[in-house]
Amino acid sequence: DGGITQSPKYLFRKEGQNVTLSCEQNLNHDAMYWYRQDPGQGLRLIYYSQIVNDFQKGDIAEGYSVSREKKESFPLTVTSAQKNPTAFYLCATSTSGGTDTQYFGPGTRLTVL
Amino acid sequence: AQSVTQLGSHVSVSEGALVLLRCNYSSSVPPYLFWYVQYPNQGLQLLLKYTTGATLVKGINGFEAEFKKSETSFHLTKPSAHMSDAAEYFCAVSVRENTDKLIFGTGTRLQVFP
């Protein structure tokens, strides 16, 4: 069954802890993206990657880190430097980036206590 | 730089009524335009997209949108609302010269009353 999986669906962490969100795809897409969604603010791009072992900062990269060691995987780490990490995080993929349609995973809701 | 404005953060309609969700974009070059729908606690699903060619685009679930260059608009419509249409809708723009990302609007939450 093809698609994008994000795990876990809900995540709770204490303030000051790093946490890693998983995103896996079997669509054979080259490009992968991480967005943050807050109420009333739409989606904001955190990081994106168009090829393995390469990634670029988006509009709100501070306090986040990523890796792209495999085509199928693009994990996002929310570090303790991120001041307001509580949000809904969405992973997306597209065939080659740019104007191609982006397909979204189901999301992870992170709550920092 | 390109941008998207969605007029109205909340829209309420009765079941069976016309749905109209507004989107205006700003771009110095021909844009690619998208509408996505999001149900509570889920990811986004593509409704429709405009790239080139025919300006009236038909999407899933009976939705359509018309690209109007003179008005820099890409409004989403559906002739008759259904209860299942209640969700949040996002307009997005991408341009060929900036080939790395989509720019999203802030979203419009659609409520459908029986």
Q: Is the pLDDT of residue B13 over 80?
A: yes
B-facing residues of A in 14-43 (CB < 8 A) are: 33, 40-43
How much is the pLDDT for B88? 96
Q: Is the pLDDT of residue A111 over 80?
A: yes
- Residue given tokens 């199928």 in the structure block: A72
Q: Is the pLDDT of residue A1 over 60?
A: no
Q: Is the pLDDT of residue A67 over 80?
A: yes
Q: Is the pLDDT of residue B2 over 90?
A: no
Q: Which of B44, B99, B104 sits opposite A99 (nearest CB)?
A: B99
Pairing mode, strands A4-7 and B10-14: unpaired
The CA–CA distances, whole Å, from A24 to A9, A13, A75, B49 equal 13, 22, 8, 25
Question: Would you call A45 and B101 a contact, using CB atoms and an 8 Å cutoff?
Answer: yes
pLDDT tens sequence across A24-34: 999 999 999 99
> What's the average model confidence in pLDDT over A19-23?
96
Question: Contact B110/B19 with Cβ under 8 angstroms?
Answer: yes
Sort out which chain B residues have CB atoms less than 8 A from A4's CB and list them.
43
For residue B108, count other CB atoms closer than 10 A to its CB.
Answer: 20
Whole-number average pLDDT of chain A: 92
> What's the average model confidence in pLDDT over A23-52?
93
Tokens of A42: 């739409």
**Spatial distance between the Cα atoms of A7 and B46, rounded to a whole number of angstroms:** 22
How much is the pLDDT for A63? 95
Please give the residue that has the higher pLDDT: either B27 or B87: B87
